[in-house]
């Protein structure tokens, strides 16, 4: 019995330590809640603004394949985001972004207005090789808050060769949204095509 006494005392002390938060009227996960609340209270607006280096990397295009009736062409696409609303970031931060949006802000869940000029290499006048899309795109996180994997759905109006058509798209992204694949379909007869874009974005 004497040998068991120290062991029983140690068990009683450990049990008392575990049950102390309940006895004091606190939840067992109270320390975690306090830490989360402290982080939320400490949230500050990011210091983001256009710079020359940011502008230069925006000029790097995303390669794409344009697949039309009976032909496939290589091209490049650029992306610009005049306005974005994020519904997936900390509520203490502003959900609005203009032109610059951090990866977390975009891929944690957001809706954006976008413009997307593209150049498709094919015979003919230089002006007829350009396409311009303008529309709305929504992003949804799939894994680790969108950092590792996210997806998007969108719709746009396509302007090309003095024609206007509706386009629909879906995309999937990884590496904090820096790399992805977008598939855009245009069913209108005059501009019927499917475009596969390797999306490369520098924020």
Question: What residue segments make up the domains of the chain, in order of their start?
Answer: 4-41, 52-200
Residue 186 CA to residue 167 CA, distance in Å, equals 4
At the top level of CATH, the class of 52-200 is mainly beta
- 193 beta partners: 186
Q: How many CB atoms lie within 10 A of CB 108?
A: 22
SS3 for 11? helix
What is the 3-class SS of 94-161, one letter each residue? CCEECCCCCHHHHHCCEEEEEEEEEEECCCCCHHHHEEEEEEEEEEEEEEHHHCCEEEEEEEEEEEEC
Element (H, E) at 199: strand 193-200
84 and 106 in contact (C-beta within 8 Å)?
yes
| Region 190-199 average pLDDT | 95
pLDDT at 155 over 60: yes
Residue 163 CA to residue 128 CA, distance in Å, equals 11
Query: Across 29-33, 88-92, 93-97, which has the greatest mean pLDDT?
Result: 93-97
pLDDT at 80 over 90: yes
144 and 150 in contact (C-beta within 8 Å)?
no
SS3 for 12? helix
Residue 85 CA to residue 111 CA, distance in Å, equals 5
pLDDT at 90: 85
Residue 10 CA to residue 153 CA, distance in Å, equals 58
pLDDT at 44: 75
Q: What is the mean pLDDT of the chain?
A: 83
pLDDT in tens, 23-74: 445 444 455 445 544 544 556 777 777 788 888 888 999 999 999 998 999 9
pLDDT at 163 over 60: yes
Residue 93 CA to residue 41 CA, distance in Å, equals 10
| Region 150-154 average pLDDT | 98
| Region 7-28 average pLDDT | 50
């Amino acid at each position: 019995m004497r040998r068991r006494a120290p062991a029983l005392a140690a068990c009683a002390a450990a049990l008392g330590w575990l049950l102390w938060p309940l006895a004091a009227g606190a939840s067992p996960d109270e320390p975690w809640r306090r830490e989360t609340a402290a982080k939320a209270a400490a949230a500050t607006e990011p210091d983001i603004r256009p710079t020359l280096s940011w502008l230069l990397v925006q000029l790097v295009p995303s390669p794409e394949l344009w697949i039309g009736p009976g032909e496939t062409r290589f091209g490049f696409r650029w992306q610009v985001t005049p306005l974005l609303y994020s519904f997936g970031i900390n509520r203490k931060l502003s959900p609005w972004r203009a032109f610059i949006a951090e990866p977390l802000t975009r891929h944690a869940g957001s809706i954006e207005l976008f413009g997307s000029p593209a150049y498709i290499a094919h015979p003919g006048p230089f002006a007829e090789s350009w396409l311009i899309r303008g529309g709305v795109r929504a992003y949804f996180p799939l894994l680790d808050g969108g950092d590792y994997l996210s997806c998007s759905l969108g719709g746009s109006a396509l302007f090309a060769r003095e024609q206007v058509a509706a386009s629909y798209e879906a995309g999937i992204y990884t590496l904090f949204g820096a790399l992805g694949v977008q598939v855009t379909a245009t069913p209108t007869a005059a501009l019927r095509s499917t475009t596969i874009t390797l999306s490369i974005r520098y924020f």
